[in-house]
Homo-oligomer: A and B are copies of this chain.
């Protein structure tokens, strides 16, 4: 199933009771929040590295956002904001993003329960050592009222090229809101859906338990995966699709200049081929790794932050040729 579900993410929003929300938080209090949470999480057995956001360049922050370790909004964060992140990047805690604490757990494939377990464990550690803003009536209090309640966003990154090809994806996306779910592009709200990648998340957090929200998302995701697999079976026998997959790989192996959007579109096609075992040498895992590595800031981080957009497109092509040939 990981051929369709790329990754699963649970994000919890928490705030400390004795401090105002981030937008009204003083400089000193921001520091105190960071220190208190850092101290609290040091009691868990998951080792987290501390990164003061003020010490990162814009490109380093953009690269973290591209790899979904921080939110796109957190790229603007500087003094008074921090990131706690595990060595394998599966656990990341943003401090003083929109809320005091935004804790996220990422797992490969569809693994909502596993991700939720880890998140819950860390949430328990937080509760044990900190006084969190919580009321019986509203649940966890958050700066933005839309997150009140469970203050949990569960999401699954899906690769749905066959449903996109058949035109079904738009219809499905529209119907999801009736199920309390929302479909977004690769980089969250308002972002484009590059290369048939889409994020499916729970939208409602008030009046529903975490377990119910996760179960709902899990069920719908499994249905979507089945639909995608059936749609793939249908289109993969078409030589036009085989042609598209093979040409996409041919172009990625031979281009000398390639922009982000084209690379994503072609890698999405190749990922479909890899999932169908049509490209003997390539796995979906290796494609997913490539997708992360060809993102704009990741290229800059690897080859030099001063590159012009054109030079970046040349380096992206170089990277793709090296890795695919």
Contacts and interface: CB of A to CB of B under 8 A. Distances in A.
Interface of A: 239-240, 242-243, 246-247, 249-251, 253-257, 314, 317
Contacts of A314: 239
Given A247-B255, A247-B256, 18 more contacts: A239-B256, A239-B257, A239-B314, A240-B257, A243-B255, A243-B256, A243-B317, A246-B254, A246-B256, A247-B251, A247-B254, A249-B254, A250-B250, A250-B251, A250-B254, A250-B255, A251-B251, A251-B254
A317 B246 CA distance: 11
Given A239-B314, A243-B317, A314-B239, A253 B255 contact: no
A242 B255 CA distance: 9
A55 to B, nearest CB: 36
A64 to B, nearest CB: 30
Contacts of A253: 250
Contacts of A247: 251, 254-256
Contacts of A257: 239-240, 243
A246, A247, A251, A317 pick with most chain B CB within 10 angstroms: A247
Contacts of A251: 247, 250-251, 254
Contacts of A254: 246-247, 249-251
9 contacts: A239-B257, A239-B314, A243-B255, A243-B256, A249-B254, A250-B251, A250-B253, A251-B251, A251-B254
Nearest to A252: B250
Contacts of A249: 254
A249 B239 CA distance: 20
A144 B154 CA distance: 81
Contacts of A239: 256-257, 314
Nearest to A242: B256
A320 to B, nearest CB: 11
B255 A246 contact: yes
A254 B255 CA distance: 13
Most buried by B among A246, A253, A254: A254
Nearest to A241: B256
A22 B253 CA distance: 56
Nearest to A321: B246
A247 B317 CA distance: 11
Interface centre among A242, A246, A314, A317 (most CB of B within 10 A): A246
A256 B246 CA distance: 7
Nearest to A257: B243
A254 B240 CA distance: 12
Closest 4 CB pairs of A and B: A250-B254, A243-B256, A250-B250, A246-B254
A245 to B, nearest CB: 9
Nearest to A239: B256
Contacts of A255: 243, 246-247, 250
